[in-house]
Amino acid sequence: MERDGRRAGRDVVVDAAVAVAVALLIRYAIVDPPGPSSPWLAWSAWPVAVLLSLPIAFRRRRPRVMLVVACVAGTGVTVAGAVAAGAIWLTFVPTVLVLYLVAATTSIAWSAASLAACLSAAVAAILAFYVRVFPGLTPSPAPSEIPAAWPIEIGTAGVLLTVAWAVGTVVRWKRDTTARLVRHLAETAVADERRRIARELHDIIGHSMSLIAVKATVANHVAETRPQEARAALAVIEQTSRSTLTEIHRVLDLLRSDGDPRQDTVPAPGMAELPELAAHARSAGVEVELTVREEAAPPAAVAVSVYRIVQQALTNVVTHVGPTRCSVTVDADGRAAVIEVVDDGPRHGRPPRAGRREHGGHSGPGGPGGRGERGGHGLIGMRERTRMYGGTFDAGPRPEGGFRVSARLPYDPDGTSA
């Protein structure tokens, strides 16, 4: 707001300076015209010049009103003969400057009508001057290099008015195009943010609900025969539910407006939380072997993507395979984060749990273990996270059985894609 105020003040000063310069030029032309002198008294050149130039100083406040004032003033003093013969086009310079602003700030229909009206008024006034006033003027003692002739006057005024209107129209079109582009970019940013939040919620809820479903099934089956194991399963459900609610609160907190009260933000998960992910999967019956090699800590955004990819891969194992063996390897060397999640498939040749492995890389319909192209958006989300960093992603069944997910996220030290 303060910067806009300074800019508006600067524009007013510039317009005032231009108005003074144009007034001096018109006054000089009236006193020493190229053609015969005006029959008006010499001192009248000052009020005429001020009257003609005044709309320039106020054109930003009321551009349409000032255009009418400038055009009427130019037409009036021309018909009255208080202008410089041979340089009548100078009388319409204020109209030219105001017309530019009108074309740059109003609709094309209104500005085009204004151009037509100003052209008509200028042509009529110049013709009236040369028919009624010019024949009665005293010839100039020294003939001008440019003779006073109505075709030259009309042509010059017409060209100036048309060019001013055209330039103003182009400026308005460019501003409108820029505004539309800014709105489009803002809408795209909002859509991207919504997709990012949707991926976050999908990863959080999908992972947690898979663990809760598995543990609830266990608790239901052993509640009477093995109450200790049932209580342990319920404890896992409680812990998972609490951590899930905390993460959901963190993600949804991003949607609050700046004016809403905020609670303390929970730090985004990263590679330090990978052992906790592995522990959750182990509690669901998956033997997870986690290996993390971290030569240099990756940027926070990369660490979150690594965490989410591992989280979704383990969720797929828990949901679609059940108890099995799974190895998770994460290697961050300062230039890229490489992730590999490999499971051995269902034990004892059992089919996977109901449902199919979520949409993957090379698995086809009805592939090994029923892990086909159909399903949710887990692997799609992993692929999108990898694509953000210009990395590579691959997911599909292994020839020896089981499933493999691998991703490579190249990055610069600042967290941008390499």
- What residue segments make up the domains of the chain, in order of their start? 2-185, 267-410
Q: Within 10 A of 401 (CB to CB), how many other CB atoms are there? A: 14
pTM of the model: 0.51
346-396 confidence digits (pLDDT tens): 875 554 444 444 444 433 333 333 443 333 457 777 888 888 788 899 999
Name the region of 283 (left: φ>0; alpha: ψ -120 to 50; beta: rest). Answer: alpha
pLDDT in tens, 131-157: 888 777 766 655 555 566 788 889 999
Q: Which of 80-84, 217-221, 304-308, 314-318 has the lowest mean pLDDT?
A: 217-221
**Residues, the chain, total?**
418
Give the residue from 248, 249, 215 showing the smallest Cα distance to 232.
215
**Confidence at residue 5, expressed as pLDDT on a 0 to 100 scale:** 62
Q: What is the DSSP letter of 60?
A: T
List pLDDT tens digits, range 211-265: 677 767 767 777 777 777 777 777 777 676 766 666 666 666 655 544 444 444 5
Confidence (pLDDT) at 103? 94
Q: 371's torsion region: left (phi>0), alpha (psi -120 to 50) or beta?
A: beta
Supply the DSSP symbol for 188: H
pLDDT of residue 173: 93
- Check whether 123 has a pLDDT greater than 90: yes
Q: How far apart are the first and last CA of the chain?
A: 38
Q: Which helix (H) or strand (E) holds 185?
A: helix 150-222
Mean pLDDT of all residues in 58-78: 92
**Four-CA torsion 273, 275, 279, 280, nearest 10 degrees:** 30
Mean pLDDT confidence for 59-85: 90
Task: Choose among 251, 250, 244: nearest CA to 265.
Answer: 250
Are 157 and 92 contacting, i.e. CB atoms less than 8 angstroms apart? Answer: yes
Q: Report the candidate in 222, 95, 105 with the shortest Cα–Cα distance to residue 164.
A: 95
Q: With beta carbons less than 8 A apart as the criterion, state whether 98 and 59 touch.
A: yes
Looking at the structure, give the CATH architecture of the domain made up of residues 267-410: 2-Layer Sandwich (3.30)
What pLDDT shows up at residue 98? 94
Is the separation of the CB atoms in 18 and 97 below 8 Å? yes
In 276-352 the beta strands, taken as DSSP E runs, fall at 287-294, 325-332, 336-343
